[in-house]
Amino acid sequence: MNYKQFSLEELYSLESDYILRHWANGGRSEFDMSINSISRAIIEKYNERHGNCFLGAINQHKFLEKGETATLIKYSGQKVFNFEFDIVVPCFDKKLVDLLTEHNTPQDSFDSQKTYRLIEAITSKIQEIGGHQLFWA
């Protein structure tokens, strides 16, 4: 199916329908990959609506292992791979990057309460700036 024909609101609805349809499997299914096309269409429509957008990952270890710093990547029509990014936001936000960096900085010991507070702060900041979480299968 070509999801580019749908509005952003319709894509959000399709995303919700997908998650509910596969709720018993954790909200996704390896046998129904349509969520990947929906997420890519959301990124494109989001970019159209806002004039630009930035993509990010909450867990950025794959970037940090390559020596890159935690950041948001400007979307310019490049190919987006499944699971590459978790979020799309309408603007570069330094506070969000700082939170992502803090979350992804290796610690001497694991502190679940600190991790929980950081994830809460990250998701709150994403919502505050009008971002959206992406889903993949």
Dump pLDDT digits (tens) for 90-130: 999 999 999 998 998 888 899 999 999 999 999 999 999 99
What is the Cα–Cα distance from 75 to 59, expressed in whole angstroms?
19
**Cβ pair 99, 112 in contact under 8 A:** no
CB within 8 A of 24, min separation 6: which ones?
Answer: none
Please check whether residue 9 is in contact with residue 125, taking contact to mean a CB–CB distance below 8 angstroms: no
CB count in 10 Å sphere of residue 89:
22
Determine contact, residues 61/21, Cβ cutoff 8 Å.
no
- pTM here? 0.89
Cα distances from 63 to residues 5, 38, 59, 132, in angstroms, run 33, 24, 9, 21
pLDDT tens, position by position, 14-72 = 999 999 999 988 777 888 899 999 999 999 999 999 999 999 999 987 767 777 777 89
R_g over Cα of the chain: 15
